[in-house]
Amino acid sequence: MKKSLANYILWGCCLWVLMHQILLAFPAKYEFLYNLGMLLQAFTLSYIAAYLFYAVYTILPNLKFQKQINPVMYQELSDLWEVCNKFSYQLAHHSNVTAYQNSDKNFSVTVPKQIENLPVFPGAVNNSKNDISDGKLINLQRESFNCWSDAIQYVIGQTDKSINLIISLKDILPEETKETLVKIVLMQKALADFQHIAKQYESLGRFEKFNHPFIQREMIKFYEALEDLATYKVKHDKYTKEQFTIYKQNLNNTNSN
């Protein structure tokens, strides 16, 4: 049962109990009406009691656990943002087109243009040497890759890790995180499609750019998920700062004693 429906039923039961207490002040015209009212009263009180039991033994423990697990979730999704953000930088670097051309973030225009200008083999079209080390052209955190299909596989691997964590906690997650999960899954599908096309182009030795309209549209989902993940980066940084402040206060209190 959805939470909203359960809440409506609960409030309806409470309203009926209140109304029934008022109606008891007026004699029932027929005995069966009195019996029916008492029966409904018993049902509603039973539902309210069951809901209170559920709240005490399920909802409250879940809220407590959710408060404990939120920092873990923030860090996991913040780490995923770091990987995806670095990947987006590599896309911009090798295509010479950024998806963030203005504050409006019109991804439906900028992302297709970026992928359209992205060379199948990094360095074959764009010979810029910025951020290229050890002969590897695509750098993601501590990993470096020569082709897009391998780089995308690395991002997909990190995405799988985050999805598995979120799914394992799906029963206690807030709605906003469930919405984030949907965006991450769509992002993963877009990356998988991109990887499939990249492998085909690479195996054929096509020294050109990704002139593939489907992938150009699909990668919009990558940037939409990236924007959502950025909010968890902010939450993680805020939590880390708060914990550091608490640590400093405790340290000062210890030294003063």
| Residue 172 near residue 130, CB atoms below 8 Å | no
Query: Residue 176, Cβ neighbours under 10 Å: how many?
Result: 11
Q: What is the pTM of this model?
A: 0.71
With bands split at pLDDT 50, 70 and 90, how would you rate the model's confidence at 130? very low
By CB neighbour count within 10 A (0-12 exposed, 13-18 middle, 19+ buried), where does 89 fall? middle
* Identity of the residue numbered 196: H
Phi, psi of 84 (to 5 degrees): -65, -35
Q: What is the pLDDT of residue 134?
A: 39
Check pLDDT > 90 for residue 227. Answer: yes
Residue 7: pLDDT above 80? no
How many other C-beta atoms are found inside a 10 Å radius of the C-beta of residue 88?
Answer: 20
Q: CA quadruple 20, 26, 30, 34: dihedral positive or negative?
A: positive
Residue 158 has pLDDT above 70, yes or no: yes
Q: What is the pLDDT of residue 116?
A: 94
Residues 57-79, mean pLDDT to the nearest whole number: 76
With a pLDDT cut of 90, the percent of the chain lying above it is 44
pLDDT of the residue at 215 = 94
pLDDT tens digits, one per residue of 35-52:
766 677 777 777 667 767
| Percentage of the chain lying above the pLDDT 70 cut | 70
Compute the average pLDDT of residues 91-95.
93
**pLDDT above 80 (res 58):** no
pLDDT tens, position by position, 110-123:
999 999 999 998 86
